Structure 1
Amino acid sequence: MEACLADVVRSLGLRIAPASEDRAHWTWAHHARAALREACRRGMTVSEESFGPLLRAAVHDPDPSFNRQFVEPALNAFGYARVRGALLGYLRTGTAQERAGAARAWYWTALPLRMPLVRAENPGTGGAPEPAGAPEPGGAPEPGGRSALVAEWNEAALRTFVSDEDVHVRRCVLPILPLDPSAYPAELHDLVDRAVALARSHPDAYIRHRVEIQVRH
């Protein structure tokens, strides 16, 4: 993760103050994260080069809350479609660690754009933003409204959950995985049933517990 942070710092040109005596316990990573938060607050122009580092950091951050620090500026600078498309790529072709990280990062792609001072160096690189009220991550697409990328993600996440035996991947994918067959085309309904059955009989207690919450709602 520190290498990913270093790439973010370099690509964004962040300045990290050295640790003072009363903050000697802070690590370099804490300083890097603080510098990014401050840059977003004050405003910054994000270069094209920074897109990859921001997404890699989001995917490789093990904390499902801290990864928001990288997703949110990427969304504001490059748009929903580009960020979601990159995360979908990680889910489809990444390592087990990257698939799990992409699922954790996807959760934050429903955020509204709240960083008006964070802009891309080349406007338009992310395509048109989502309309007001961006779709919930993993939610069922509404007729004529929601992004096709959400439907693509749902299908890829469903297939990943069923086929990938890595328990960490399954733990990260399941919470944002719709388990209502109506969220999918008819040809995927059997796969939804298979995913539910797999989760209910899984040896991992969290997965067994989580599926019941999602099926109930």
Structure 2
Amino acid sequence: MKIKTLEGSLTTNEDGTDARQVFMALPTRTDDDRRSFQQCLAAVFDVLGIEVGPEPAPGDQRRWNQLARVALRKACGNGLTLSDASFDVLIKAAVHDPDPSFNRHFVEPALNAFGRRRVRSALLEYLRTGTDGERAGAARAWYWSALPLRLSQVRAETSSTESPAAPDDPSALMREWRQAALRKFVSNEHLDVRRCILPVLPLWRSAYPPELHDLVDAAVSIARSHPDGYIRHRVEQQVRD
């Protein structure tokens, strides 16, 4: 039995123990625009009305970011009612967050309050029409859109047509994402875009319609011959899996 994770996959050995296949860590973004993320973070706390603390001292922005994430996590744990305006600022913060692990703190409340379909539709739109930085960020955030809905205390202020707790039927939206991501990986040479899309990109033909099978082969070929070590390492693990 195999369970895929952000850094690798867990495989059950014949004796029942777990063997971890470890992937290289996703490298730091080449166009890390932290100023944009700070603006997104400020918008989240302004719209949600959450107090974080004093403004960061010069050169101590990273520490304040950690405090902000803790404040958001505590607010979710205590119960949080999100206005419709909260959705856009949470997704934008998730897309602009330079950290591929901490961005889940913005995805998860949006997921639980507004539903998987709305979150994934928004990320798909960023992938299709955003800047290269936003496309990379959308791919990193997409990973967390598969999280189970465990924050029952986080709710939307107004009811929507989709119940967040309803069983997810990902087939149509997942197909759209896979096909759009495959096309972007092949056509877009931006390093961050390719690095971030690859971990959430199936590389087997059966995941796509016949007319895209040549693109799957092209994606594998591009990744295997790419000058970036992370991409070359990652593709071999995924193709082997």
Same fold (TM over 0.5): yes
1:113 aligns with 149
**Matching residue within 145, 153, 156 for 2:180:** 156
Which residue number corresponds to residue 73 of structure 1? 109
Which blocks of at least 5 consecutive residues in structure 1 are unaligned? 135-144
Letter in 2 for 1:107: Y
1:19-54 Cα deviation digits (max 9, x unpaired): 8xxxx9974323322211110000010000111100
Q: 1:186 — aligned with what?
A: 210
How many aligned positions are there? Answer: 201
Give the counterpart of 1:88 among 124, 130, 137.
Answer: 124
Partner of 1:48 in structure 2?
84
CA shift, 1:199, in A, is 0.8
The aligned counterpart of 1:141 is: none
Root-mean-square deviation (CA, aligned residues, Å) is 1.8
Structure with the largest fraction of strand: 2
Q: Cα deviations across residues 46-96 of structure 1 (Å, max 9, x unaligned)?
A: 000111100000000000110000000000000000000000000001111
Check conservation: 1:46, 1:119, Cα contact below 8 A: yes
Higher helix share: 1
One-letter amino acid matched to 2:74: E
Which of 185, 205, 219 is the matching residue for 1:195?
219
Q: Percent identity?
A: 64
Corresponding residue to 1:103 among 123, 139, 151: 139
- For 1:165, the equivalent position in structure 2 comes to 189
Give the drift of 1:209.
1.3
Per the alignment, do residues 90 and 34 of structure 1 end up closer, same or farther by CA in structure 2, a change over 3 Å counting? same
The AA in structure 1 aligned to 2:203 is: L
SS at match of 1:110: coil
Q: CA, structure 1 residues 210+5, in 2 after alignment: closer, same or farther (shift >3 Å)?
A: same
Structure 2, unaligned runs of 5 or more? 1-36
Aligned to 2:233: 209
8 Å contact kept, 1:80–1:130 = no
SS in 1 for 2:145: helix
Mapped contact 2:107–2:145 kept (Cα < 8 A) = yes
The amino acid that maps onto 2:67 is H
Partner of residue 10, structure 1: 46
| TM-score (normalizing by structure 2) | 0.79
1:130–1:37: structure 2 CA closer, same or farther, 3 Å change rule?
closer
1:204–1:121 CA distance, 2 compared to 1 (3 A) = same
TM-score by length of 1: 0.87
Deviates more, 1:31-40 or 1:173-182: 31-40
Which of 25, 38, 56 is the aligned partner of 2:74? 38
Q: Which amino acid aligns with 1:172?
A: C
User: Residue 82 of structure 2 contacts residue 156 of structure 2 at CA under 8 Å; is this kept in 1?
Assistant: yes
